[in-house]
Amino acid sequence: MDLSTNYMGLQLKHPIVVSACPLSETLDGIKLLEDSGASAVVMFSLFEEQIRNENEAFDSFLQSGADSFAESLNYFPQIGDTDKGPEQYLNLLTKAVAATDIPIIASLNGISKEGWIDYARQIQQAGASALELNVYHIPTDIEQSGVEVEQRYIDILKSVKSSVTIPVAIKLSPFFSSTGNFAKRLDEAGVDGLVLFNRFYQPDFNLDTLKVDPRAVLSSAEEIRVPLLWVAVLHGRIQASLAASRGVQSATEIVKYLLAGADTVMVASALMKHGPQYLQVLLDELNDWLNARGYASVNEVRGKMSHLNAANPDAFERVNYIKTLEYASSFRWDRFVS
């Protein structure tokens, strides 16, 4: 069975890639992911706040002497442990590249271009095979238009692309008014891959404390539906590679994403739940599914159910929504009426 796939010019032995998550926070963790069968690993993100934190601390140190060093650190939110700052990130990346034979993709998470450019270059020098940008911007400023939000992504992409030669992917949120058109604009601006989608932070309220509850919840298989739609719509229409991300719990979701047209399928939550060794289960299940149906390669199934290849493309559109409503209207409401 030929499971090989091409992602942004990287030749991978199969399409299952580990997406950014704490499993890549240590060298042992990254080695375990490789030993468990990952075809590539996207490292956890280096956050813009950590870069700014370090730059601010350094500037302050130069201008006012060592006394203000500790104080200046307080201006910025403390993101995680101090052993995950930019220097440590680059060190880990260098070691991971040396210790493994699979592509290591670095990840930068932020909202502005300042500070990223330098680190993008250093990430390339450290040997990363590619860079993933997670532009994690929640436009809570209601004066900010959709055009401005999109332009921010384009500007960041162009700045980063002009400073590195390794492939650059952008991890998107699904919340754009015209997701397909925005993907096309990013494609025209030179993006090498789109990761569809990020799991956006969705705050909850704690009713006991009346505080915002920032808990991270692991994903479920239901979550594949939005990425599935957009992977299917974009397959074959843009140059950039497509990585499907969200909701993979078993090979069922992986096969669906491949049928939609994904070049790679990323997984985090399922590995956090079951451990890195679960990668082998996913691979075996994928193999079994392809074998049982007589396929000889992943390429044969890719995009078979995309919008372009669908026998009935209407199935992706309003007409199917109407069918869903028809199904809902056949529901027997009267059985609740006594």
Ligand X SMILES: Cc1cc2nc3c(=O)[nH]c(=O)nc-3n(C[C@H](O)[C@H](O)[C@H](O)COP(=O)(O)O)c2cc1C
Point out which residues bind ligand X (CB under 6 A): 19-22, 44-45, 107, 109, 134, 171, 198-199, 216, 218-219, 245-248, 267-269, 272
- State in angstroms the smallest separation of the CB of 216 from ligand X: 5
**Closest to ligand X by CB, 220 or 291:** 220
Closest CB to ligand X among 25 and 34? 25
DSSP code of residue 13: S
Smallest gap, in angstroms, from Cβ of residue 217 to ligand X?
Answer: 8
In 121-268, at which residue ranges do the beta strands (DSSP E only) sit? Answer: 130-135, 168-172, 193-196, 204-206, 211-213, 241-245, 264-267
Closest contact distance (angstroms) between CB of 321 and ligand X is: 25
Task: Please list, in sequence order, all residues whose beta carbon lies within 8 angstroms of the beta carbon of residue 57, skipping any fewer than 6 positions away.
Answer: 69, 72, 73
* CB of 111 or CB of 272, closer to ligand X: 272
Q: Dig out the tokens for 81 from the structure.
A: 């442990």
Q: Are 158 and 190 in contact (CB under 8 A)?
A: yes
Gap between the Cα atoms of 283 and 257, Å rounded:
14
Q: How far is CA 186 from the centre of its chain?
A: 15
> Considering the complex, what minimum distance in angstroms separates the CB of residue 73 from ligand X?
21
What's the CA gap between 246 and 94, in Å, rounded?
28
Q: Write down the least CB distance from residue 148 to ligand X, Å.
A: 23
Q: Are strands 204-206 and 241-245 parallel, antiparallel or unpaired?
A: unpaired
CA distance 100 to 12: 14
Structure tokens at 262: 């994904």
Query: Which runs of consecutive H residues, i.e. helices, occur in the chain?
Result: 27-35, 48-64, 67-73, 86-99, 116-125, 146-163, 179-188, 225-234, 251-260, 269-274, 278-292, 318-329
For ligand X, the closer CB: 198 or 264 = 198
Q: How far is the CB of 19 from ligand X (least distance, A)?
A: 4
Cβ proximity to ligand X: between 60 and 253 the closer is 253
The least distance separating ligand X from the CB of residue 20, rounded to whole angstroms, comes to 3
Using the minimum distance from each CB to ligand X, give the nearer residue, 34 or 132. Answer: 132
**What are the residues whose beta carbons fall under 8 Å from the beta carbon of 176, sequence distance 6 or more?**
146, 149, 150, 182
Query: CB of residue 68 vs ligand X: minimum separation in angstroms?
Result: 30
Nearer to ligand X, 174 or 236 (CB): 174
Count Cβ neighbours within 10 Å for each residue of 298-310 and write b for 16 or more, e otherwise.
beebbbebbbebe
Helix 48-64 with 116-125: angle, nearest 10 deg: 110
Residue 157: how many CB atoms within 10 A of its CB?
22
Name the residue nearer to ligand X (CB basis): 44 or 278: 44
